[in-house]
Structure 1
């Protein structure tokens, strides 16, 4: 039985399209490196999502590719071909059977696409990008500026992916405009140096993501699915001098408020992180974003929330209507159930490398665990006899 203290986490919330989300707990989109090479559902992916949605309100699937030249991860799921519909349908059903609403995150990597994964296609971005290092620390090769035709094709691809998601039985989609991928690249003055209608002023830099939102909403309207959820995820700031500031993010929020969306999702490493520039740097980014929304849309907050008390304290700030969990769900597939059943003391905060059977990871994801990467959860001390899976 849920301890009364944590009851607020299980209060339902009704979105502006009348859809009720049963509680405030959301599984964050997590890269699992588990899909088949062609983007279809694999056995490893079935395992990974098969027990992580119980007692959550929403489950946002891993970044799912809308166009082949944007592939940024090995094992990335796809939503760009009819051949992927069967697997998407099965994935949606796996989540629904656990009682959560499945939401498909739609993604294009832009310049962060990986050469070895895009079949000889050119890497594309708003403007030419020289070789460098991605936001995740991976070396990147050069990308070239997109043509008008390519921009139109990618916008259409987001619409097609939404159509697939609806036919597959998903309850919604989340447009991935965060983490330095293509939509964020268009918003950024650092990566978008175009002089046409797609660049220059912040209004022009917002034109591409707004066109993507319109294409997604048009697919929803075609199916007459008012009950279909559309969300948008964004990263509030960039470190580069000419990168995204909180002022740019306020402009993005103001534009998104005019669209028929159901929620926004702020991508953060730290729920409490303060603004860097373009706003009051004494206040947290989430507080400022929530204030700017002014109740127009609910906000999902995320960022190193590991325990039941972390979740409750975050909700009690009033900065977000929903809380998303990534690392803690990697560690505790039954995180929401433990809180609901009054077993929050059983929640773990570190990966136990001696228990590969416990977590349901793909081999690739499991073998990343001891590397100490920022986007992965903390690890207990590695035992002397630990070895990668399939290492013999």
Structure 2
């Protein structure tokens, strides 16, 4: 049915969202040096609130040594709660639900970003991309347990700040993914081993977050974001991720796939042309809702995401360009929807100045800038920059 994405949805927890459009988590790089919220961030989310059923924030680190880039949100201490409460309140305009994405960057950080501390990971192995990645320090078992608790404490703070849920960012080669990947986890203790054993850390982080969510006196959801594949060898393959999805499908309130294009099929097995989104839908159907994402720009794209088996369609770049996308679709005002972005309109669209630079550099080929004379690119057959291949800043 056309525009089914405008229908509401009720999660098993009792949380009801007004439609099935999700604003996907996007880096703003606009927080203060210590991770506290800035007024620019609040304005950015407020501008896009009111239309989508849910807005997922950019990542917030759960631990001081979990910071991955400058300008990143933090939820690592109670000092962050007042600022985060302003973000949640801004998102709640006209009934949009607010989800705080939480993570630990692991080896996807630098000594410079961590103010002199060495990045940490499951094993002391540097990432292949970018090629100048630092070798991390292997976490001790006690440190692993502490980070697991940090995910729980971050969830507690999200509840206190007024969010409606948290999304554990287990994608884009961050720490949760690093523990599941045979590329980055070569431990021989209880946190390593075969793929079932490498699930121990993500499962523990989910359980830690769930324990705090269950203490909330209102519906509060736990989501999980997953990357389908790695291209390194050894690395995560689609069968591994489908196995992962099967293990967590009854433990989380939704699964969110991280891809640059919802049409993508396997990057490792070119003979398999089935869309990855359909593969995940087959695994989690009747267990937990699935959020599909990647170059969703038009109502037809959103319809196609649901037709592939997803329950929600997430939009990123298009909601940067057109904050009123949902309202315009609801009111049959499609001709006014921005599908291109003028650099001269970015400030009027409440896009923070630092984010403007980021979009103009790392994402320039896919932002559809009106001033760009180069042919637009897409991510259908490649990894997007945020999936582990962006330049270190």
- Indicate whether the TM-score tops 0.5: yes
Stretch deviating more after TM superposition (340-349 or 144-153): 340-349
Give deviations 1:76-117, integer Å, cap 9, x for gaps.
Answer: 111011111101111111111242000000011110123222
* Pair 1:170 & 2:166 matched: no
Which blocks of at least 5 consecutive residues in structure 1 are unaligned? 384-392
| Shift in CA distance, 195/68, structure 1 to aligned 2, threshold 3 Å | same
| Shift in CA distance, 312/257, structure 1 to aligned 2, threshold 3 Å | closer
- 2:119 corresponds to which of 118, 123, 126: 123
Return the alpha-carbon distance in structure 1 between the equivalents of residues 236 and 189 of structure 2.
Answer: 19
Alignment of 1:7-86 (within 5 A): 7-86=3-82
Q: CA deviation at 1:222?
A: 3.0
Return the alpha-carbon distance in structure 2 between the equivalents of residues 202 and 88 of structure 1.
Answer: 35
Give deviations 1:355-380, integer Å, cap 9, x for gaps.
Answer: 23332122111123332537962222
Contact 1:307–1:347 (Cα < 8 Å) also in 2: no
Q: CA deviation at 1:217?
A: 0.5
- 1:251 corresponds to which of 221, 224, 243: 243
CA-atom RMSD, angstroms?
2.0
Q: CA deviation at 1:169?
A: 0.8
State the SS of the aligned residue for 1:265.
strand
Q: CA deviation at 1:257?
A: 2.0
Contact 1:372–1:378 (Cα < 8 Å) also in 2: no
| 1:298 equivalent in structure 2 | 289
Give deviations 1:65-85, integer Å, cap 9, x for gaps.
Answer: 101111112111110111111
Give deviations 1:299-322, integer Å, cap 9, x for gaps.
Answer: 00001011222222322x242000
- 1:187 corresponds to which of 180, 194, 202: 180
Q: CA deviation at 1:6?
A: 4.8
Contact 2:18–2:95 (Cα < 8 Å) also in 1: no
Contact 1:246–1:279 (Cα < 8 Å) also in 2: no
Q: CA deviation at 1:40?
A: 1.3
Stretch deviating more after TM superposition (362-371 or 291-300): 362-371
- 1:109 corresponds to which of 105, 108, 117: 105
Contact 2:224–2:256 (Cα < 8 Å) also in 1: yes
| 2:320 equivalent in structure 1 | 330
| Shift in CA distance, 223/54, structure 1 to aligned 2, threshold 3 Å | closer
Contact 1:27–1:53 (Cα < 8 Å) also in 2: no
| 2:231 equivalent in structure 1 | 239
Alignment of 1:210-359 (within 5 A): 210-225=203-218, 227-259=219-251, 261-276=252-267, 281-315=272-306, 317-359=307-349
Contact 1:247–1:278 (Cα < 8 Å) also in 2: no
State the SS of the aligned residue for 2:208.
helix
State the SS of the aligned residue for 1:51.
helix
| 2:136 equivalent in structure 1 | 143
Q: CA deviation at 1:19?
A: 1.9
Return the alpha-carbon distance in structure 2 between the equivalents of residues 297 and 131 of structure 1.
Answer: 32
State the SS of the aligned residue for 1:50.
helix
Return the alpha-carbon distance in structure 1 between the equivalents of residues 366 and 89 of structure 2.
Answer: 27
Contact 1:370–1:382 (Cα < 8 Å) also in 2: no
| 1:390 equivalent in structure 2 | none
Return the alpha-carbon distance in structure 2 between the equivalents of residues 79 and 145 of structure 1.
Answer: 23
Stretch deviating more after TM superposition (163-172 or 374-383): 374-383
Stretch deviating more after TM superposition (109-118 or 155-164): 109-118
Return the alpha-carbon distance in structure 2 between the equivalents of residues 338 and 31 of structure 1.
Answer: 25
Contact 1:330–1:377 (Cα < 8 Å) also in 2: no
With the length of structure 2 as denominator, give the TM-score of the two structures. Answer: 0.90
Give deviations 1:321-379, integer Å, cap 9, x for gaps.
Answer: 00100010111111111111211222222221122333212211112333253796222
Q: CA deviation at 1:185?
A: 0.7
| 2:384 equivalent in structure 1 | none
* Pair 1:197 & 2:190 matched: yes
